[in-house]
Structures are given as C-alpha cells and as structure tokens.
Homo-oligomer: A and B are copies of this chain.
C-alpha cells in the first residue's frame, strides 16, 4: 500500500513565501520514504489582487477542496486596503472550509526569549472558535462617511457552533496530563453570548468528570497570561478573544516567530489549514531575516492532523534542540534558509 499527501500551498505575501519554503523543506525531510508528497501552489494574496482584483475565485476555492490539507504562509500587504485580503481570502477559507477549531499551542521552550521575568513554566493550548463570533462579517454601516454614521458589528454565536468547539476542547483537555480547561469570555457584559457559552461549557463538562474547569473574564485572563501563565492548560474561547489572547500568548512564549496554528475541520469535510500566527511582515520580506520556526511547527500540527504523530514529534524535538543552541552568535545570525536547513538535517537524522 502506498501513502501520499496532496498538499495545497499558499505562500501568500511578504515573508510568507520564504517561511513556507522552509516548512516544505522540513516536511520533505521528515516524511518516511513510502509517503509521497505532492504539492500544488496557489497564487493568492496581495500581488494577485493587484493584478486581477481577485482575492479567492470560486474555481480556486473548488480546487482547494480536493487537497488533504493546506499550508499557508502569510497574507496581507499595506498596499491593499485593510480587510480586503483578510475578509476576502484568509477568513473566507476558514469559513468556507468550516475550520471551527483554531488551535494555537503555547510553550515556553528553553533558551527562547520571553519578556516575563523569572521565566514561568508555560505550556498551554488555546482552542479558539473559528467560524462564528464577531468574525462573521455580519454588520454594516448607515450614512457612511457622514456625521450621522452608525456602524455595527454583530457577534453571532450558536449552540451548534459553540458545543462542537467546547466538546473538542474537553477532549483535548482530557487527553493531557493536567486535564484542566478554562473558558474565557466576558459574560458579565456580553450576557447573551456569554450565557450561551457558559451554559454549554457547564453542561458538556458533566461528561468529562476528570477535567477540572475554570472560568475567566477575558480582561482578567490577560492579567494571568503575564502574572501566572502556568495556571493554564487548555483554554477555550471565542474567535475574537482567541485572536487577542493568542498574540499575547505568543509574545510571552518566545515571540510571534515561534507561534504555530492550525485551522481544523475535525469532521474532515474539508481540508484543514496550517499557518504561522505571524503576519506577512513586509518590512523584513525578501531579506532572509524571517524565522521560519512558526511555519515548521505548523507543519508538525499538519502531520499530527494527518495521523503522522511520530513525524510531528520529530519536528517538535528538532525545533527544541535548535532553540537550545540559539545562544551562540553563529546560530543567532542564521538566515531563514539556514534555519530551515538546520531543522531539515535534524529531522532527517
């Protein structure tokens, strides 16, 4: 029996192309001989939009559906009006492919930089909702541009959408040694959505008697992220709160250059998508300065999603080993490509 991975690759903008190249390099190096890797590159992002006015044509969306998974670099450029590529491409993919589990692990690895004094023991994962909340694009503006303008944004939350996510989060918490799940919301102000989330969180929790639960308002959660991050194991939260918390989590665990993410469709109706948390960083694009580690770690999440757990672990070990040697001047001076090479060598050996 032969095995193969049919991967869609969206390098995107800025440093996206550079880091994706390293992700693919490490992926090829880690795969067993009998697994064939096929990739197809999709030209999507700022330059495509400038050239054709398209963000994600239906034909390409159709074609993407046929792959086993998607690896995405980064989307966005200051030359494109804010929101065009985010709504028209990145979020369109997450919504069209029903990526309801947006998974973002945070672990403070040895030898990485953290702005926190005392280097607390950080090892948690945020399970962010990916298809609802204030991200639905539901809203509008009236009398736009006039002194009488009213603009609204509607956060939509369904029992259907929240329950499937919360269940996924309980499963993940149950599978970890500490078995702790924290719901983050703002149910003292956003009472309608907040009660929906809290009720489902409490009800589903009865099926997981071994999981310890906790609830925090989002404002309080940010405090604990910097004063007591070791208290977190698995966090489940809304799309927008998850967006904010995972950037903060990345900042305290070695920076956005290390933060991986997976946009998962657990039902496997559509391909899942893997991407670093960071953006396209146009200021350093094309200079070989970008750290590809976040993309490489996203490849590990991709492998785990495809059932290649041992290979995923090998990548994570390679990254930890690489980071452990980053205090030398030579290691710190490496280019994007050189870091990719080093990781590829490690996973292959």
Contact = CB atoms under 8 A, between A and B. Distances in A.
A320 to B, nearest CB: 22
Contact of A148 (B83, B118, B159): B159
A348 interface: no
A243 interface: yes
A247 interface: yes
Given A116-B115, A155-B153, A244-B222, A82 B193 contact: no
A256 interface: yes
Interface residues of A, number: 68
- Copies of this chain, count: 2
A247 B219 contact: yes
Contacts of A220: 247
A323 interface: no
Contacts of A137: 191
Interface in A137-160: 137, 139-141, 143-160
Given A141-B196, A163-B147, A187-B83, A227 B115 contact: yes
Nearest to A218: B244
Interface in A193-224: 193-196, 198-199, 218-220, 222-223
A187 B82 contact: yes
A91 interface: yes
Nearest to A191: B83
A190 interface: yes
Given A222-B251, A223-B247, A227-B115, A134 B148 contact: no
Nearest to A190: B153
B146 A159 contact: yes
Contacts of A155: 134, 139, 152-155
16 contacts: A134-B190, A139-B155, A145-B199, A148-B159, A149-B196, A151-B157, A151-B158, A152-B154, A219-B247, A223-B247, A223-B251, A223-B256, A226-B251, A227-B251, A227-B255, A244-B244
Q: Which 4 A-B pairs have the closest CB atoms?
A: A219-B247, A149-B159, A83-B191, A222-B248
Interface of A: 76, 82-83, 86-87, 91, 114-118, 134-135, 137, 139-141, 143-160, 163, 186-196, 198-199, 218-220, 222-223, 225-227, 240, 243-244, 246-248, 250-252, 255-256
